[in-house]
């Protein structure tokens, strides 16, 4: 995190992950606009992702990668 929060302190929404964070939705690269601590929570991370245009409607898999480590896919509804 940068800046590093104090132990036990709630996030302000300005603490960003230092590790590279990327995302795909439906196998297509999805821009990450924020990756860091969620405001007003202790140790709750938030990642904001923009759904790419041109995806088929319906459920699509969302996968995050932080420092090259992939998350399990979760389904998101695309309309």
pTM, two decimal places = 0.85
Question: Strands, DSSP E only, in the chain?
Answer: 21-25, 28-30, 32-37, 45-49, 58-66, 69-70, 74-78
- End-to-end Cα spacing for the chain: 34
d(CA 4, CA 21): 17
Q: Render pLDDT for 24-72 as a digit per residue (tens, 0 to 9).
A: 999 999 999 999 999 999 989 999 999 999 999 999 999 999 999 999 9
């Amino acid at each position: 995190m940068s800046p590093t929060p104090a132990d036990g302190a709630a996030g302000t929404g300005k603490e960003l992950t230092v590790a590279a964070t990327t995302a795909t939705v439906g196998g297509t690269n999805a821009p990450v606009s924020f990756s860091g601590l969620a405001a007003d929570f202790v140790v709750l991370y938030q990642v904001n992702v923009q759904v790419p245009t041109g995806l088929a409607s319906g459920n699509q898999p969302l996968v995050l990668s932080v420092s090259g480590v992939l998350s399990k896919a979760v389904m998101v509804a695309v309309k």
